[in-house]
Amino acid sequence: MTACTPPSPRAFVHKKHPGAPGCFLCRRSGRPLLHGFDTACANTHPRSVELFRLQIYFVASFCRHFGMAARLGRCRTPFAELTDLCHSVRGWYASPALSSRCMLLSLAFSQPLLFVALILGIVIALSFHEFSHAFVASKLGDPTAERMGRLTLNPLAHLDPVGFMMLLVAGFGYARPVPYNPAYLRNRSRDAVLIGIAGPVSNVILATAFAYALRFFLPSLGFSNLLVQFLFFTAFININLAIFNMIPVPPLDGSKMLLAVLAKPKYARVRYTLETQGPFLLLTLILLDAIGGIGIFAGLFQFFGSAFFRLMGLSL
C-alpha cells in the first residue's frame, strides 16, 4: 500500500497540480489539489488519510484456507498430512466465540514452530510488497520513500505495530503505507498505476520462487517437514496477498488502475466517492466474511491458490 505525501506548501500554495484529476470538494473550496495514492486529498480531507491507512491483509482467510489442504487430503495428495491442522484452524474460524479467540496466537501455543513459519512468511510477503512500492517510486523519480527510510527490506520499516498486533489478535491487520509525492511523477496517472501494481507483482514473483523451491524439497522431505510447510505457506500467502490487493476497491492497489481510468475531471465525483467510501466497503466485506462466514474471500483465495499451485506443477 502507498500513500500520497503532499507537495511542499511553498510549491503549491493556491495552485493545482498540472494535469491532476480534480477533486469535487477541492474544486468547490478552491484549495490545492493534492491527490494521492491512498488519500482523497491530504489537505482538504484530512480524515481520509487515516481511513486509507487501513490496508487490510486478510490473514484470517489465509488461515481458513488451510481447509484447502483437507480437501487435498481426500484426493490423496502430498498435502494430506496437514488435514488435522486444517480442521483445527477451520474450527477456530467458524467458532461463535471468534471475536474472543486469538487465532494466530492460539497457533503459537499448539504449533509454535508452524506459528513462527507463518509469521515469517507474512513478514516476508509484507516487506517485499511495501519495498516494491518504494523501489518503483524511486525509479520513477520520487525520492520521498527513500528519504523516509522505506527503500529497504527491513521489516521494521514497513510493519505497523498496531496493524501487526491486530493481525495476531483479530486475524487481519495492515502495514505502513509507502508515501509518494505525485509532484515528482512525470506522468501521474501512469506512474501511479506502476507504483500500485509493483507490490502485487513482487508477491507473485516471491510466490513463484517459493513454489519452485517447494517442488524441489517436497518429494524428499514430505509435508511434515517444517521447511516444506514454510515454503508452502509463504507461497500461498504471497499469491493470495497479490490477488487480494488487486481487488479494485480503495485503498487496495487494484483500485489505482480503476482510478486511472476515471482520471478525467468529469469523473471527479465518482473518484471521490470511491476513495472515501471504498475502505468502508472493504472493511464491511472483511467483517462479514470473518464473522458471518459468508466465504467471499475464502472462495477467491481457494480458487486462485489452487490454480497457482496447479500452474506450478503441484497437484492440488
Asked if residue 169 lies in contact with residue 102, where contact means CB atoms within 8 angstroms, the answer is yes
Cell of 236: 500461498
| Alpha carbon distance 243, 102 (integer Å) | 25
- Find the helix or strand (DSSP H, E) in which 3 lies: strand 2-4
| Alpha carbon distance 101, 93 (integer Å) | 9
Q: What is the 3-state secondary structure (H, E, C) of 63-123?
A: HHCCHHHHHHHHCCCHHHHHHHHHHHHHHHHHCCCHHHCCHHHHHHHHCHHHHHHHHHHHH
Cell of 16: 493545482
Determine the 3-state secondary structure of 2 from DSSP.
strand
| Alpha carbon distance 93, 103 (integer Å) | 8
Cell of 271: 473518484
Count of alpha carbons within 13 Å of 276, Cβ hemisphere only?
Answer: 17
| Alpha carbon distance 259, 201 (integer Å) | 19
Which residue numbers are catalytic? 130
> CB pairs under 8 A, 24+ apart, for 101-105?
102/168, 102/169, 103/60, 103/63, 103/171, 104/59, 104/63, 104/167, 104/168, 104/171, 105/168, 105/169
